[in-house]
Structure 1
Amino acid sequence: MKRLSAIITLSLWYTSSVHSLSISSSSFDRRQAIKGILSTSTGVLISSDSVLALEGKGGTVTRVEGIGGGFDITSSKTEPGKDVIYPASMAGIWNVRRVVTSIEGDSGQAELAWRNLGGTGSVKDIESFQTQFIVPPSSSGIENQYVFDGETFQGCVLDRGFEIASRKQCKSTWGVDNPDVLIYDKDGSEVEIAVVQRKIELPSEKGFGYSELYRVTSSAGGIFGDSKVQRAVKVQRRYRRALDENGNRIVEGLEIQKTFRVLDGVAGIEMPTSTMKSSLKFRES
């Protein structure tokens, strides 16, 4: 009888919980509900008002101990006038050698993200392409000053359109005054890469780098035709300047690329579905 009573009690609790999670168009939309699901652990219910109260700058649902978090990639914004700043000495065209060194988790998702972000051929191959760094004009509004050894320098930024065109042999659209959006044509289908979160490490004697979260919008393909799908990919890079065996200047870099599940525009950024690591080497052209 005690066991039967416990089962009845559990059943009533489950029915009540499911009912409390029911969604009506007059209360809050589906995306807010998904935020609540991604921001709760089993058996912990949070109302839509509570989830919105947790929402921070840039559409981030702040992590709460024991609960977790999600990131709304549809509405998040980066800070205007900011882009990744590279040392002034890197202005110009460079030859890049890129090698994928390891893949963990869902290799299919890792490779798809790598291709959407510019990868060509096989992930097992050594990739070679050109890239370009430019000093942003004052009219762009990009803050590019940094201090090194007590001196102030005007740093440069990556010409993302030039690089994707070099890697993919495609047409691209990108502007230094709007660095957060890159669009290119892939086999007759448009791909958009939008930066929705960015952290920058300015050049110093220790190196430089960045962490960026991308919303990648592309064709679903297959039976879904031209329907669009959104993916979330985070790329973290760390660079250091060095000299090769002949005394020529080079820049070496390490990259970590992570993919995340996206449900109704909310990415579960605490649990990557895949992690890809790569090494990069830049030589002046």
Structure 2
Amino acid sequence: MSQRVKMKLNICYCLLLFYRPCDTTADLPHTVLEEKQMAVLSCPHSVDGDVVWSKRTEGQDYKILTIRGDTEIKDIEDREKRFSSQADKSLVISKVAASDSGRYLCDRQPAVDLTVIPAGTEIERVAEKSSVTLKCRPTVGGSDVPTWRKDAGQTPAGIRIQVSPDTQTMTITDIRHEDSGLYHCGGKPAAYLLVSTAKTSLPLWLPAAGGAVLLVALTLTIGFVWRRLKRREAESTQNDPTYTEIWEPPKTSNETESPYSLLGHSQESRHSLVGTSGNYEDQWNHQGSRNDEYILLQRTNQTISSV
């Protein structure tokens, strides 16, 4: 098998090995906790051996805790001893603070997004495309219309927002994922809006059917590539000048005699001319063949020439 064929087949086999059905529910968990609560963060996969927990801040990953057997190695300064682990190697953060908000990774793989909000803040969990009404805290009053703002990101605006001074509420319609965040009313936390992405429910048989179709397509592709490459290899072998046939001259009746001899036996000569004393005596033996030979013998100078 040629190297080209082997390379093509290896590519097809790699596609088969790395095929995995699509996971339509694999969203990163988002945990929202109030200050002073305890957070328990679990690895998204089974763990064996050492485990390293880290936190991603502004695109950089910083190690927090390394678990080696029953030993915990802290890579940060932890005077209050807030960071520890459980038997299943989950990360435990006691008395969470706003500074603990961020994305946590287990063995360099994203595990969970943690958001810490002020104590007493309501959490509104809504789905995309729906609507929600947020209320100011009772302590917010006065004759002025309270100002609404979002703690991080852009505050929703336009026709999707309806603010009521009488009820001190803000209604958001056609909710989007980017609307998630902590909202303030009159400078005080009012509510944390947690928007979940709408998911389409798929039949249980659909992932398996899709995988079967993909495997069949890959199998047919491998067969097509195999036949095409074998045909090309056969054609290249036929056109190779190395295998060109070499013409072989016909054998004479007397195999011991070279077919290229200038002088044959007298009986094989079709036309012969023997000269004596300068006078030539013609002796013809013509048989009318296209392979007639003409042999001239001269006694003088003993010259032999072939016409």
Q: TM-score, normalised by structure 2?
A: 0.18
**Larger of the two Rg values belongs to structure:** 2
Higher strand fraction: Structure 1 or Structure 2?
1
- Provide the TM-score with structure 1 as the length reference: 0.19
